[in-house]
Amino acid sequence: MSNRVGKTYFCKICGNEIEFKKDGGGPVVCCGMEMTIKKEGFDGEE
């Protein structure tokens, strides 16, 4: 299992963001799609 604790993920469709507190190993899904890891300094807009 990968360590996603402390990392932030965002939804490319609606812009929701989540930060992992505990990783249960399941996929991170929003709006029917897997969420994308947010890179440092990236605000989610292209």
**Any idea what the CATH number is for the domain that residue 29 is in?**
2.20.28
CA atoms of 4 and 2, how far apart (whole Å): 6
Closest CA to 15 of 36, 39, 41, 25: 36
pTM of the full structure: 0.72
E-state strands within the chain: 8-10, 17-19, 29-30, 33-34, 36-37
Those residues of the chain that have pLDDT short of 70 are 1-2, 40-46
CA dihedral in degrees (27, 37, 44, 17; nearest 10)?
A: 50
Which domain does 29 fall in, by range? 8-37
pLDDT of residue 39: 80
Structure-block tokens of residue 44: 């989610």
Total domains, the chain: 1
pLDDT of residue 43: 60
